[in-house]
Amino acid sequence: MFSESKAELTIFDKLRSINYFLLFLICTIFFIGTLALYSISNGNFSEWPIKHLQRFILGLIIFFIVALLDLKIIFRFAYLIFIASIAALIILLIVGDEINGAKRWISFAGFSLQPSEFVKYTLILALAKYFHSMEDYHENFISKLIIPSFIVIIPVAFVVIQPDLGTALVIFLGGVSVIWISGLNYKYFISGILGFILSLPILWQYLKEYQKDRVFTFFNPERDPLGNGYHITQSKIALGSGGIFGKGYMEGTQSHLNFLPEMQTDFIFTMFGEEFGFIGSIILILLYMALIGIAIRMALTSKSLFSKFLSLGVCSVFFIYVFVNIGMVTGLLPVVGVPLPFISYGGSSMLAVMFGFGLLTNCYINYNTTLTKGSFI
C-alpha cells in the first residue's frame, strides 16, 4: 500500500531534524503571552500565567508526539481522525456545557476542551489526504469537488449552530486555502466568491440576534457604545492611547481599570498594544510573520503532496487566527471571538495550535517520504 522511503529515520535523527528556530519563535511568542497575562493578573503569577505555562508544556508534549509519529500512520488515519473530530462536535451538541448561550466546551476527565479548535486541523488532514489521493487530476469532472465541499461544510455547519461564528470562519477559510493550493481553477474560486456574496442575504436570516448586532456594530461602533460597540471602542482607545512607546509594562490604565472586556482571551493584543505601544505591537506582528514565513518555507521542502497540502494548510489556519484576532481588536473586522495563538489564555486553542505545528514539523522531518495514494483507511 505504501511505497517505502529510502531510509528509516531513527528518533534521534528526527529530533535533530526538527526546525529549532521555529520552536524558538513559538517559545518567544508564548513568553510574550505569559508576560501579558502576568500584567493582566496584576502581578499574580498563580492566576493566569501559571495555567498558561502548564498548557504550553502540555502543548509541547503534544507537539513532540505528533512530530515524531510515523507520517504514514498520520496519512493512513487522516480520515478517521477527521471523522472522530466531527463525532466530537456532534456529541458536544448533545452533552456540551452551555456557556454564555453557546455550546462550545466538552468536559472530559477534568479538562474542558473545545473540539472546534481541533477540527481546524483535522479538516486539513482530510483535505490533504483527499487531494493527495485524487485519481487522475486531468479529468474534467466537477464531481471531484463534491467530497472536499462536504469535508469543509459539515464541520463549518456544526460549529455555526453551536453557535461560534468566529471559529466557523477560521475553519472555512482554512479549508478553502487548502483547496486553493491544491490547484482549483481560478474561475471556480471567483464564482464561489460571487455565490457566497449572493447567498449573504439568506445566511443573514440564520444569524442569531447577537451576531447580527455584532455585524451592525462593526460598521458603526457608536451605535451602541455601552453594548457591543463597547468592546471595539474601548479596544481602540486602549491601543491608541498606548501611542508609539506604550504606557509601560503593567501601566495600562484601560486594561487595569477593567475598561477592556475579555482581556485575557480575545482582547489580549489590545492590552499588549496599550502597554508596549506601536513598537511592541509591530515587533509582535513581525514575530508572527517570521513564524509563518519559516513554516511556509518548511512546507515547500516536502516531496509528497499530502505533506505540502497539510503543512501549507496549517500555515494558513495559523495566519487566519492571527489576522482575524488583530483585525478584530483594531476595529478592522467584526468582533467574532478568535483567540491570538500562544498569547490568549485558552487551553484548547493552545493545544490545537501545537498539534498543528506538530503536524507541520512531522512533514518537515519526513520531507523525503513519499506516499502512495491512499484508500479510505
Partner 1 sequence: MSESNKFIFKKYDANASINRRTAIITIAKAGLFSILGARLAYLQIVDKDKYEILSDNNRITHRLIEPQRGIIYDLQGKPLAINRQRYEVVIIREETSDYIKSIENLKNILPDVNIDTEKLYSEIKKTKKFIPIKVLDDLSWDQFSRLNANIHKVDGLYPQIGFKRYYTSGQSHSHIIGYTAPLDKKEKDTNTLADLSSAKSGKLGIEKAKDVSLRGKLGNKNVEVNANGREIRELDRYESIQGKNIQLTIDSDLQDYCYKSLNDQSGCVAVTNIKTGEFYALVSSPSYDPNLFSKSISSEKWNSLTDNIYKPLINKSISSQYPPGSTIKPFVALAALENGVSEKREVYCNGKHEIKDTSLESGIKTFHCWKEEGHGNVNMNEALKVSCDVYFYQISREIGINKIAEVCKRFGFGQNVFDSFYEEKKGIVPSKNWKLESIGTPWMVGETLSAGIGQGYFLTTSAQLSLALGQLINGGEKIIPTIVMDKNKDVQKNQKISLNPKHLAIIKKGLEDATNTQGGTSFRSRISGNLKMAGKTGTSQVRVISSQEREEGLKKNNELPWEKRDHGLFIGYGPINNPQYAVSVIIEHGGSGSGAAAPVASKIFKYLFDNNLNLKSKSISNV
Catalog residues that contact partner 1 under the rule CB under 8 A.
131, 134, 137-138, 140-142, 144-145, 177, 180-188, 226, 234, 236-244, 253-254, 257-259, 273, 277-278, 281-282, 285, 288-289, 292-293, 296, 299-300, 305, 308, 312, 316, 319, 323, 326-327, 330-332
Minimum distance from CB of 173 to partner 1 (Å)? 11
Choose between 39 and 182: whose C-beta lies nearer to partner 1: 182
Choose between 288 and 355: whose C-beta lies nearer to partner 1: 288
Choose between 324 and 350: whose C-beta lies nearer to partner 1: 324
Phi, psi of 97 (to 5 degrees): -80, 130
Are the CB atoms for 269 and 329 separated by under 8 Å? yes
Minimum distance from CB of 242 to partner 1 (Å)? 6
Query: Which CA distances in Å does 40 have to 62, 280, 325, 327?
Result: 27, 17, 18, 21
Choose between 181 and 350: whose C-beta lies nearer to partner 1: 181
Choose between 159 and 305: whose C-beta lies nearer to partner 1: 305
Minimum distance from CB of 362 to partner 1 (Å)? 19
Compute the radius of gyration of the chain from its Cα atoms: 21
Minimum distance from CB of 249 to partner 1 (Å)? 16
Are the CB atoms for 40 and 254 separated by under 8 Å? no
In which region does residue 304 sit, left (phi positive, over 0), alpha (psi from -120 to 50) or beta (all else)? beta
Distance, in Å, from the CA atom of 306 to the CA atom of 372, rounded to the nearest integer, reads 10
Minimum distance from CB of 272 to partner 1 (Å)? 11
Give the ranges where 42-145 is alpha helix by DSSP (H): 49-68, 71-95, 115-133
Choose between 102 and 290: whose C-beta lies nearer to partner 1: 290
Phi, psi of 367 (to 5 degrees): -60, -25
Minimum distance from CB of 197 to partner 1 (Å)? 19
Choose between 24 and 188: whose C-beta lies nearer to partner 1: 188
Minimum distance from CB of 51 to partner 1 (Å)? 24
Distance, in Å, from the CA atom of 81 to the CA atom of 60, rounded to the nearest integer, reads 20
Is it true that the peptide bond before 115 is cis, omega within 30 degrees of 0? no
Return the C-alpha cell found at 216.
451592525
Distance, in Å, from the CA atom of 89 to the CA atom of 119, rounded to the nearest integer, reads 9
